[in-house]
Amino acid sequence: MAQPAAQGKKLKMKGDGAWGYAFIAVALVIYALFTAYPVVKAFLVSFQEYKPLGSTYVGFDNYVSSFHSALFWKAIRNTVVYTVLTVPVALVLSFAIAIMILPLRKSMQTAFKAIYYLPVVASGVALSVVWLWIYDPLPAGIFNQLIHLFGAHNQNWLGSSATSMLSLVIMSWLSSHGASIIIYLAALLGIDESYYEAADIDGATFWQKLWHIVIPCLKPTTLFLLVTGVIGSFQVFQNAYLMTGGGPDHATTMVGLLIFDNAFKYFEFGKAAAQSLVLAFIIAIISLIQFKFLGKDVEY
């Protein structure tokens, strides 16, 4: 008598599995169309002098010309400088703000989450317009008004090669870190209260709890934000494109902006594809190094 019931359960499991494969198939098709195919196509185009009505195979010429381009290496250097100056500061700021929000009442936590996350949903173009106004010369620009109070002269923040990169870095520092703050807060709320209780019994101070409990427990979260932050910084495009256009004298030309210019300004799609693959290779190597040295004792 038990056999039909078992058979029915087996049939039900098969049906559930079919629905699971169906949902996975949808995701796989979307991934194949919008991620895998563009990567494969970019790989093929990188070996061509691409033309809509007939491309020419040129071997490694696009890679060779990129590696011999002083502008390409300058864009790499600008991107590395921007990443080194922005990602660590973003992590520290997000962590500090999350720590300050954590002891507040739930309603206050929610209010601060909304305040810090609001710029994330705002248009990047609108934010750039605001920052263009902030960096305006006197008498309109806020930055110049501030430094004028201390006797400094009017600065052409975005128009000078000496200050244009610094301007983009400051913009990144003071822009939204809402997503990182939310992630850090979620991780902080996930730490077992018994750790804090044991530390209180031992008479641990705030800084001792922070160093011996909070930071080790948040190491997986920090690694995740570090890796995604570095990837995002290496792909930065919008700020440089809207604020400076890569100038002056290519002082703010990032790799992403250079690839865009080669593809859609100079129509050198083959060179742009080659440079995008080089960028992907650099990001992959840096990510592997981060996991190698920082992810040894991280449990997922």
Has residue 141 got a pLDDT over 60?
A: yes
Q: Where do you find CATH 1.10.3720.10 in the chain? A: 70-295
Question: Residue 279: which of 233, 222, 224 has the closest Cα?
Answer: 233
Calculate the dihedral angle through the C-alpha atoms of 270, 276, 281, 286, rounding to the nearest 10 degrees: 160
Each residue's pLDDT tens digit, 271-287: 999 999 999 999 999 99
Each residue's pLDDT tens digit, 89-140: 999 999 999 999 988 888 888 898 888 888 888 788 888 888 888 888 777 7
Q: Give the position of tokens 């002269």.
A: 153
Has residue 7 got a pLDDT over 90?
A: no
Has residue 250 got a pLDDT over 80?
A: yes
Tokens standing for residue 195: 């750790």
| Residue 18 to residue 22: CA distance in whole angstroms | 6
CATH fourth-level superfamily of 70-295 = MetI-like (1.10.3720.10)
Report pLDDT for 1.
46
175 pLDDT tier (thresholds 50, 70, 90):
confident
